[in-house]
A = this chain, B = another copy of it.
């Protein structure tokens, strides 16, 4: 795919007239009001003539010809000290390092990212010999904050962090990305229906899916955090047909972590004693923390915690209400522990899963061994060899109670899918979401 970095400046931002952009180009503004024009993926060649933007003087445009050669790369807006080029192979202390990996993050100016980016830069997530290129996606409105984040990353002097760029165009920011962490989403406004939220965020994720399809690494791993994350992930993968559907995740790891902690608390053990914790289904109040398969000190939970009423009634509620309780206590949403859980989700894919254990991630259901409906994104137990890929765990058991609850969260996801049919190429949306709010508290 060819991208033309066709940049010029608005000399007079206030007086500029709307641009006349030809239909074969996508356009966006970047830092310093530079205008970037890009050839759409289905266009192979185009000639750009002067005058496409009325407010740009003709002599500022040098009639570039866009050619779809591989060497035509977009240049994202590298930031400050990260604009210098470093030859890692030339230096003693860095020559044994791995090849640089590119991590793109949306919602990069938000609070979750403010924790996560520093974790990634420090080496805590990808390891002490993995140099990092961070590409930060924000919005026109958040662009200044994005610069602030880049400045703080500069001031942190992390040796592994070698490239940082910022931008507001996903076609630019996602280019060649090997990991894409989609954290940005519109928050739900007062009185907004879930259907409206699905539509607003669905459109963002459809667009980002198209961008991933066009420019990301062909083996990119995508983790969707912005809510409603399961359906956002489904929309995203449907709009990225050239990337394996298996590579898309929606985050349920925070709930897995919270579930482990609550079981540990109840059992009077440290949290590292709890294993095999599955969160099934949707990232909503219909989600199912599975105490049938989970283990404490290698033993089934039910053998350790005899209080069946607590398990069936209080346990799930505790996890669901945790975010809401945190907002009450702390006045803010749980950005720090969400960032930790994103780091955990990545580490689970790049580290071999301990024998016998598994982790939860919401992934594409096609071919799942549990009888869950195909073609949705559903949280299930996964295991990884540490190569970035995963397989679904076969050895899980079900009882009627678990089946019934899994059915309910499955129905919700199927309804969310019907509600966003227009965004996944399945015709006209029919929105028959069950009444009642299933948004997790603390995530409005």
Contact = CB atoms under 8 A, between A and B. Distances in A.
A118 interface: yes
Interface in A327-354: 328-331, 334, 336-337, 340-341, 344
A64 B439 CA distance: 51
A144 interface: yes
A157 B257 CA distance: 7
Tell me whether chain A's interface is mostly helix, strand or loop, or mixed. helix
Contact of A124 (B84, B109, B122, B272): B122
A151 interface: yes
B156 A114 contact: no
A329 B151 CA distance: 10
A159 interface: yes
A341 B341 CA distance: 24
A145 interface: yes
Given A152-B336, A156-B336, A145 B331 contact: yes
Interface string A140-174: 00001101110111111111001000000000000
Contact of A337 (B122, B156, B264, B334): B156
A190 to B, nearest CB: 23
Given A145-B329, A147-B329, A260-B157, A152 B81 contact: no
Interface in A372-400: none
Interface string A92-136: 000000000000000001000011001100101000000000000
Contacts of A122: 119, 124
Given A84-B270, A155-B337, A261-B157, A326 B254 contact: no
A263 to B, nearest CB: 10
B118 A254 contact: no
Interface in A205-227: none
Contacts of A10: none
Contacts of A81: 261, 264-265, 270-271
A272 B115 CA distance: 23
A132 to B, nearest CB: 13
Interface string A181-202: 0000000000000000000000
A159 B334 contact: no
A148 to B, nearest CB: 3
Most buried by B among A119, A264, A271: A271
B151 A326 contact: yes
A298 interface: no
Given A86-B270, A270-B81, A336-B114, A322 B155 contact: yes
A149 B330 contact: yes
A356 to B, nearest CB: 15
Of the four ranges (under 10, 10 to 19, 20 to 34, 35 or more), the interface on chain A belongs to 35 or more
B257 A340 contact: no
A38 interface: no
A425 interface: no
A325 interface: yes
A258 interface: yes
A328 B162 CA distance: 26
Interface in A277-299: none
B148 A326 contact: yes
A144 B336 contact: no
Given A148-B330, A329-B144, A84 B154 contact: no
A269 interface: yes
A7 B270 CA distance: 27
Please give me the 7 A-B residue pairs with the lowest Cβ-Cβ distance, nearest first.
A148-B330, A148-B329, A152-B337, A156-B340, A155-B337, A144-B329, A157-B271
Given A81-B270, A156-B340, 17 more contacts: A81-B264, A81-B271, A84-B264, A115-B118, A118-B336, A122-B124, A145-B331, A149-B330, A151-B322, A151-B329, A152-B326, A152-B336, A154-B271, A155-B254, A157-B272, A157-B340, A157-B344
